[in-house]
Structure 1
Amino acid sequence: MGVFRNENAAARSSRDTHQQEKCSSMDVVMALPKKICALCEEEFELKPDKPGFANHCPTCTAFELEEAAAKQAPKDADQVRYEAEVNEARRSSMKNLLYRKDS
């Protein structure tokens, strides 16, 4: 009975490798889905590694990224120090809430 199972497993694995070779040798090109931009209403292809929202075309996404970068002003030393203090206070309060012992 055990030999029968091993033979089936061997036959199955050789059949699987044959199917994988068969699939890998085929050149299949999938078409990218067509979308319409929510901002400019132009049609574009949705690519897998496209940054931004799926319903915005690449030109509108690039424009939004440029606007976001322009809005972020460089921080001075006082702002950085203040944010560090606030973050430290936040971390200590979360630590106290999570690890305090209820007596």
Structure 2
Amino acid sequence: VDVHGFFSDASLLGTFHDFVSITRIISSEMIEFKVCMNDLSRSFEDLRSKLRSQTQESEEYASFLEAQLEDSQTEAASLFQELEELRLAFENESTVKEQEIQHLQGII
């Protein structure tokens, strides 16, 4: 600083170089920050895509399980109907046999 309170040329030049250095550092940091933000954005999109894919797979699997359940219920109803028909046939056969036994006892 000279006697009048102004910066000397050497001091101004040093301050300018410091300013340029700081500006370069800030610029470099901003570029790194931008790269990091792009990486984060890409990672976020990848995660979102995976989540969508897993959600779709889960929905497809849930639909598959629902179809399996419906098939199982239909098959169970069919088997129950068959069982009921067999029970009725057995009852009818038992009634016929009982009548035959009574008829034979009446003959004896």
Greater RCO (Cα-Cα under 8 Å, separation 6 or more): 1
Larger radius of gyration: 2
More strand by share: 1
- TM-score relative to the length of structure 2: 0.26
